[in-house]
Structure 1
Amino acid sequence: MDDISRLLGLARLRATLDKRCLLGGATRMDVLYGEREVPFHVLLEGKCQLEVEGSLYSMTAGDVVVIPSGGRHRILTAGAGRMRTTSDAPGRTFAVTTSSDGSDAVIDLFCGHYSVAPGAGSLLFSSLPTPMHVSLFRSEEGRSVLTQLSALMRREAEIDGAGSSAIMSAFCTVLLALVLRSSPGAGAHDPFWTAASDPRIGAVIREVVEEPGADWSVEKASRRAMISRASFFRYFPSATGMSFGKFLTRVRMMAASDLLLGSGLTVAAVGSRVGYRSEAAFTRAFRAEVGDTPARFRRTHAGQGG
């Protein structure tokens, strides 16, 4: 299994398409989600701006934005006159949102969210920058995939019949996989460690995700990357936005969360599987990352395993 598919499996995502937004000019749409809900927007046509955490990001057709931090944000369209609000028309699968005055649409925007499991899902998204802004039309592969996907999404939106919710959920999971393996769009400040541009660093990331319990050290990782230890210390944070030690711990705790919820292994055995020689060391590391002990995490979230 490839590393992106492995990460998505660990995160135990549930994708939901919430609305299709056909907004006119000079319109503001406020968006708010809850805990462990990660919003996303995919712009199929037109131009708009996204306001999140006090910053504005320009979106054009082919852009996908994921907001790992969740929380309140805003979609804005340009136009003359006073800013309009929005109104929702409920549908069988999702709502259709338009400008409150019924003006002709200048954008076609699909909006939804990913519900993430405690532990692995929360750790994955907390390790990624907000927002994740990808311009899929920048590459021929991205343009081809999104063009086909958008046609299917629009068609399914028109049908809005039996099975539409499950189909749209699958489409939205595909979008996230595309984002995780893509380079950030113009104006992004932080890298996506899931799409490290340096192939030497990418090779290390893939192996750690595949075998988090191996005896990893900076020396071993630098040898795998075929660069010096000093160069590895410089290149890894630049490519991923975090130190190798932080990355290794995150991936190990994601794998541990999955084992705690999806297996009958003891806490000590789970710790051993993810590279810890003692249960005490594993418990300390797990509590530092997840905010709970492994045993309490398992009790609290019992029944949420795969």
Structure 2
Amino acid sequence: MDVVSDAISAVRVGRPSFDRVRVGGDWCARLDSYDGAGFHVVLKGTCWLLPDGGAPVALGPGDVVLLPHGTGHVIADSPADAAAVARAVPFSLWSEPAPPPIPSVAEREVEMVCGKYRLDRSHAHPLLAELPALVHLPDRACRRPELRSAVDLLRVEIDERGPGSAVALTGLLDLLLVYMIRGWLARDTGGVWSAVLGDPVTSAALRALHSDPAAAWTVDRLAAEAGVSRPTLARRFSALVGKSPMAYVTWWRLTRAAALLRDTGDPLAAVARRVGYGTPYALSHAFRREFGTTPGRYRAAAATAANANPRTQ
């Protein structure tokens, strides 16, 4: 595993949900804030996205938008004024069944895929926490080819709905999330985690740790993986990541344990072994110190939350 994959795996819950939307004419729909990440893919036509508290964003064919913190927003045929936004139709009523295009304005027809990823923000990796409220990856810009390919495959799969399409669509939407975050990292050269992953020493230590969090890590061993001295690793890692190497090791092991408790039925002893704790007691003690609850109570609360959100399971 790598840092980006692990960061996504730690917070992703259930399956992404989505609607395909076809609309024309004058229209305006609101999506309230959401405990997850929203996304839009414009397949055809042009429209506008108006994030709460932000400036309107023009969207064109092939554009992709990620709202990683579930920011409430409006999508509309134009950069609507405040009165129009106030009259926006709730998206949940407007999208199913998708309104047909209006023949008299066929040239203004818009097709989109609009969806959500459900996230457990209680243990979000700082890489994801650093994402801005809105990530816009325009098709017309120099975009990563894998993101363009994912959008093209998504369009084909939605159009054809062949055998296995349910699995294919879920996989493509998961790929889309990875590619959107990659696209942001490639552009956000001034961000903390762009610098972390771009630094050869720190990134080498992180790759080693994330590939085997249960290993008997020490600062000396991580420094050897990075090919530098212990003081050099400690200094560069702490300066860039904001934690010492061993503090990050402990935090990541417990974050990984939380994800395993949430997503698997593995007994506590197995979870402890997978994240580098010798006994269930040792894991329980560290887990409670970090998260303020026991592993058993955390697992029960996660199961309750999952049952309350059946659409994304």
Q: Provide the TM-score with structure 2 as the length reference.
A: 0.67
Displacement, 1:211? Answer: 1.0
Matches within 5 A, 1:146-185: 146-159=147-160, 164-184=165-185
Report if aligned partners of 2:213, 2:275 keep a CA contact under 8 Å in 1: yes
Give the letter for the 2:268 counterpart. Answer: T
- Point out the more displaced range, 170-179 or 10-19: 10-19
Displacement, 1:209? Answer: 1.6
- Among 104, 107, 114, which residue is 1:111 paired with? 114
Deviations 1:133-170 (A, max 9, x none): 26375556x23x33333333334444568765543322
Task: Tell me what 2:40 maps to.
Answer: 41
Matches within 5 A, 1:233-252: 233=234, 235-236=236-237, 244=245, 247-252=248-253
Distance 1:24 1:125 in 2: 42
Give the letter for the 1:292 counterpart. Answer: T
Aligned-pair Cα RMSD in Å: 4.6
Matches within 5 A, 1:89-238: 89-91=95-97, 95=98, 105=108, 108-116=111-119, 123-124=123-124, 128=128, 129-131=130-132, 133=135, 135=137, 142-143=144-145, 145-159=146-160, 164-184=165-185, 190-192=191-193, 196-227=197-228, 229=230, 231-233=232-234, 235-236=236-237
Report if aligned partners of 2:189, 2:195 keep a CA contact under 8 Å in 1: no
Task: Tell me what 1:51 maps to.
Answer: 51
Structure number, greater radius of gyration: 2
Report if aligned partners of 1:28, 1:77 keep a CA contact under 8 Å in 2: yes
Q: Provide the TM-score with structure 1 as the length reference.
A: 0.68
Displacement, 1:270? Answer: 3.3
Rate the CA distance shift 1:266–1:166 in 2: closer, same or farther, 3 A.
closer
Report if aligned partners of 2:41, 2:151 keep a CA contact under 8 Å in 1: no
Give the letter for the 2:264 counterpart. Answer: G
Rate the CA distance shift 1:30–1:290 in 2: closer, same or farther, 3 A.
farther
Rate the CA distance shift 1:115–1:174 in 2: closer, same or farther, 3 A.
same
Distance 1:64 1:204 in 2: 32
Task: In structure 1, list runs of 5 or more residues that go unmatched.
Answer: none
Task: In structure 2, list runs of 5 or more residues that go unmatched.
Answer: 307-312
Report if aligned partners of 2:47, 2:76 keep a CA contact under 8 Å in 1: no
- Point out the more displaced range, 285-294 or 103-112: 103-112
Report if aligned partners of 2:7, 2:125 keep a CA contact under 8 Å in 1: no
Give the letter for the 1:213 counterpart. Answer: A
Give the letter for the 2:40 counterpart. Answer: H
| Larger proportion of helix | 2
Distance 1:79 1:30 in 2: 13
Distance 2:249 2:8 in 1: 17
Distance 1:19 1:235 in 2: 46
Rate the CA distance shift 1:193–1:161 in 2: closer, same or farther, 3 A.
same
Report if aligned partners of 2:30, 2:73 keep a CA contact under 8 Å in 1: yes
Aligned length: 292
Give the letter for the 1:205 counterpart. Answer: L
Give the letter for the 1:18 counterpart. Answer: D
Give the letter for the 1:69 counterpart. Answer: H
State, as a whole percentage, how many aligned pairs show the same letter: 26
Distance 1:29 1:284 in 2: 48
Matches within 5 A, 1:60-79: 63-75=63-75, 78-79=78-79
Displacement, 1:113? Answer: 1.0
Displacement, 1:256? Answer: 1.4
Rate the CA distance shift 1:207–1:279 in 2: closer, same or farther, 3 A.
same
Displacement, 1:293? Answer: 1.1
Give the letter for the 1:90 counterpart. Answer: E
Distance 2:285 2:296 in 1: 12
Displacement, 1:24? Answer: 6.5
Task: Tell me what 2:275 maps to.
Answer: 274
Displacement, 1:38? Answer: 2.5
Task: Tell me what 2:267 maps to.
Answer: 265
Displacement, 1:15? Answer: 1.5
